[in-house]
């Protein structure tokens, strides 16, 4: 089992990552009254850059707390939650999207990703026991279907759906919304076939906001 640990990559050294983490701990302290916490990697962090106009228009009403860090894998987010991020917040909902970097960067197979995700979900449940949980399936990546990344994502997403059916959390699956009928991933929505365009953030915002409203019921 891979233990929770800081990120330490060539493109994001541990010291710099820890500094960013500390800034999110401070942000958490300023957002104690947040209604929704968003957890994830660069795709979640991207709400504050590429998707910022949609973030403000759609989610500002929730006093949102964005805890996304680019490059994070599941075990990195897990470590952050064990070390101060989100402490003393009492959100009504927690939104999670994580795992693509385990597949694309670390080359973890589906079984490892599922094991790590299972442990992270237990951590989230303990940290925010009264919050509703909304878990995204991993977004599609690669331009065409049938690639090894797509196959691993499909296996992990099947497990996420199985957990949701057991009542562990609510699920939001954007796969069929983002993919064309032939299974290709549009360049206009995913310029590098991984990260979202401003337009794609707008599409996601509408679906995500409706899912949050259902959770808050």
Mean pLDDT for the chain overall: 97
Give the residue-averaged pLDDT of 53-82: 98
CA distances to 108, 134, 152, 157 from 161, rounded to whole Å, are 20, 12, 14, 6
> In the prediction, which pLDDT does 1 show?
83
- What integer pLDDT is reported at residue 56 of this predicted model? 98
Instruction: Calculate mean pLDDT across residues 23-29.
Output: 97
pLDDT at 7 over 80: yes
Residue 96: phi and psi, rounded to 5, are: -125, 135
Phi and psi based region of residue 51 (left: phi greater than 0; alpha: psi -120 to 50; beta: remaining): alpha
37 versus 216: the higher-pLDDT residue is 37
DSSP string, 78-134: HHHHHTTTTTT---SEEEEE--HHHHHTS---HHHHHHHHHHHHHHHHHHSTTSEEE
Question: What is the average pLDDT across 195-207?
Answer: 98
- pLDDT confidence bin for 54, thresholds 50/70/90: very high
Per-residue pLDDT for 32 more than 80? yes
| pLDDT greater than 90 at residue 217 | no
**216 has pLDDT over 90:** no
Mean pLDDT across 149-173: 98
Q: Would you state the pLDDT for residue 149?
A: 98
Report the candidate in 29, 47, 34 with the shortest Cα–Cα distance to residue 128: 34
The pLDDT, as a whole number, for residue 65 is 98
Return the H-helix or E-strand segment holding 35: none
151 backbone φψ class: left, alpha, beta (φ>0; ψ -120 to 50): alpha
Residue 107 pLDDT > 90:
yes
Which element (helix H / strand E) includes 138?
A: none
Superfamily for domain range 14-216: SGNH hydrolase (3.40.50.1110)
Q: Residue 96: pLDDT above 90?
A: yes
């Amino acid at each position: 089992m891979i233990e929770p640990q800081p990120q330490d990559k060539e493109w994001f050294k541990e010291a710099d990552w820890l500094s960013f983490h500390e800034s999110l701990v401070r942000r958490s302290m300023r957002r104690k009254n947040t209604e929704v916490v968003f957890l994830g990697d660069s795709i979640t962090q991207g709400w504050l850059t590429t998707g910022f106009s949609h973030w403000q228009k759609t989610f500002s009403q929730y006093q949102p707390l964005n805890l996304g860090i680019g490059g994070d894998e599941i075990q990195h987010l897990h470590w952050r939650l064990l070390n101060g991020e989100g402490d003393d917040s009492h959100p009504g909902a927690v939104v999670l999207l994580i795992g693509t970097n385990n597949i694309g960067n670390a080359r973890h197979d589906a079984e490892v990703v599922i094991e790590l995700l299972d442990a992270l979900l237990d951590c989230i449940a303990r940290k925010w026991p009264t919050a509703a949980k909304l878990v995204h399936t991993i977004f599609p990546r690669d331009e065409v279907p049938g690639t090894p990344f797509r196959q691993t994502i499909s296996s992990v997403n099947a497990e996420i759906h199985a957990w949701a059916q057991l009542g562990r959390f609510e699920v939001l699956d954007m796969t069929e919304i983002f993919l064309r009928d032939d299974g290709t991933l549009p360049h206009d929505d995913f310029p590098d076939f991984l990260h979202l365009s401003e337009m794609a953030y707008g599409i996601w915002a509408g679906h995500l906001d409706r899912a949050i409203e259902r959770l808050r019921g």
